[in-house]
Amino acid sequence: MDGTLAAARRGLRALGAALCLCVLAVDRLDAQRIIGTAKLSGVVLVDSLERPIAGAEVILHSVGLSARSDSAGEFAFSNLPTGRHRLTVRAVGYQSVAVDLDIPAEGLENLDLLLRPAATELKRVDVRAKAVPHYLADFESRRNLGIGRFMDSTTLWTHGDPSQWAQRLVEQTPGLRAVGYGASKALVTTRGIGTFRRLPSGDVSDVQRGARQACYARIIVDGVIRYNSQNEEGLFDVTNWSGPPFVAAEFYTSAQLPAEFNRLGTVSCGALVLWTRR
């Protein structure tokens, strides 16, 4: 019995040793297949431009090795087995390339690998711009300059009634206020430079209704001067406008007034430029 057990143990030890030898032999064979003396080197370039691509990944699938191209686009492998190898090159923004190479014992050097830029499909972008009416083209150009105060119908008609434009204008324009004389109102600026020998107070009818001397702003409607801040000139009654609704307004102090609105000389009390859908 004891002899039988001892013989069994000896047999198991011999089997284990044989298995170890087999594993070592297989490992040596794999090492002989993977490890060699050949070298492979080259450069990754942009197709047609031949500009180097840095950071491209170069993969040798047969030996499980990979490398990255440097700033000059160059890469290198060493200790490669000879024979046929599948090589893949890929880089962000470029189409991947796969080639089969036969590497001889002396290796391959100065291999050029050309990548084409990947085609990028751009998403469709719809650009919609609000068209500027032709009669407000110059108004918008001046507004873009940022000199003066500007209001369009979205501001002038905030109260829901185009006839309330003057109220909204006064609310939004520092230095501008509406003063009453009888049942009428005129716009007065507090930012004039005071060059008048005598401030205007309107014509005889305005004075009879209670108009007083003040720095009344010049009023220009669709490019035409309706009130010019002159003595004994009838005031512009903002409550009695019977023309088309105003769709835009510009207000300038005397120092801001563009030349096209100051052809008759210096405006001491500023100017209000109004526009309709003409």
Q: Where are the domains of the chain?
A: 36-119, 134-276
Percent of the chain with pLDDT over 90: 28
pLDDT for residue 88 is more than 50: yes
**pLDDT confidence of residue 68:** 95
CA–CA distance, 45 with 52 (Å, rounded to integer): 4
Edge-first strand listing for the sheet containing 38-46: 74-80, 38-46, 108-115
What is the pLDDT, as a whole number, of residue 159?
62
Question: For position 20, what pLDDT does the model report?
Answer: 43
User: Any idea what the Cα angle at residue 93 is, between residues 87 and 94, rounded to 5°?
Assistant: 35
Name the nearest CA neighbour of 77 among 90, 86, 66: 66
Q: With 60 as the cut, is the pLDDT of residue 17 above it?
A: no
Q: Quote the CATH superfamily of domain 36-119.
A: Carboxypeptidase-like, regulatory domain (2.60.40.1120)
Task: Please indicate whether residue 17 or residue 117 has the higher confidence score (pLDDT).
Answer: 117
pLDDT of residue 130: 62
Q: How confident is the model at residue 27 (pLDDT cuts 50, 70, 90)?
A: very low
Token output for 176: 């501008």
pLDDT score for 18: 46
The residue among 2 and 191 whose pLDDT is bigger is 191
Rounded to whole angstroms, the Cα distance separating 125 from 186 reads 49
pTM > 0.85: no
Selection from 48, 46, 64 nearest residue 56 by Cα:
46
pLDDT, averaged across the chain: 80
Give φ, ψ of 250 to 5 degrees: -130, 135
89 pLDDT tier (thresholds 50, 70, 90): very high
Distances (CA, A) of 161 to 152, 174, 221: 14, 22, 19
Span of 16-20, 56-60, 68-72, 250-254 with lowest mean pLDDT: 16-20
Q: Supply the pLDDT for residue 14.
A: 52
Angle at 229 between CA 256 and CA 183, to 5 degrees: 115
Pair of tokens at residue 190: 């507090």
Rounded to 5°, angle at Cα 252 from 214 and 210 = 20
The H or E element containing residue 165 is: helix 165-172
Please tell me the distance from the alpha carbon of residue 229 to that of residue 196, in angstroms, as a whole number: 10
DSSP string of 40-73, one letter each residue: EEEEEEETTT--B-TT-EEEETTTTEEEE--TTS
Q: Which fold has domain 134-276?
A: Ferric Hydroxamate Uptake Protein; Chain A, domain 1 (2.170.130)
- What residues form DSSP beta bridges with 179? 186
> Which stretch of 69-83, 133-147, 199-213, 264-278 has the lowest confidence by average pLDDT?
264-278
**For residue 164, what pLDDT is reported?**
80
User: How many Cα atoms within 13 Å fall on the side-chain side of residue 55?
Assistant: 4
**pLDDT of 26 above 60:** no
